Homo-oligomer: A and B are copies of this chain.
Amino acid sequence: MLAPAGAIRPTGTWSLAARAGDFVYVAGMRGIEPVSGALADGEEARIRLAFRNMAQIAASEGAALADAVRIVCYVTDMARLRPLVNKVQEELWAGAPFPPRTIVEVAALNQDDIFEVEGTFYAPRR
């Protein structure tokens, strides 16, 4: 299991990520500040930080956002939050091909949060 320096710390019965062969599986990430453990203020900032937490963990195994082969986005309000997810992805992928995505509205997330993203990356061992 992976625990890169500077990443958020799991507080329960889960790990941040696992490498398996050429794949990196990152746990569902939310917009939690790695240092303080607090949720980011504001919906867009919260979503951006969730993606950045995911990206940081993937990067520790040599995978960029462009190497994501599946993301699943969980939102608690499709109409309001999906446009923000799109906006943040445009910004963070910065012209790289977007990954296959599934986006669904769930009833709730932990800590009454609004967004969680789960990413699977392809990062062949050299």
Contact = CB atoms under 8 A, between A and B. Distances in A.
Interface of A: 1, 10, 12-18, 20-23, 25-28, 69-70, 72, 74, 76, 78, 82, 85-86, 89-90, 93, 97-110, 116, 118, 120, 122, 124
B116 A13 contact: no
Given A18-B70, A21-B122, A97-B1, A106 B105 contact: yes
Contact of A15 (B25, B100, B108): B100
Contacts of A99: 1, 14-15, 18, 25
21 contacts: A1-B97, A13-B89, A14-B98, A17-B100, A18-B99, A20-B122, A21-B21, A21-B22, A25-B99, A25-B100, A25-B120, A27-B70, A28-B100, A72-B102, A76-B107, A78-B108, A102-B118, A104-B107, A105-B106, A105-B107, A105-B109
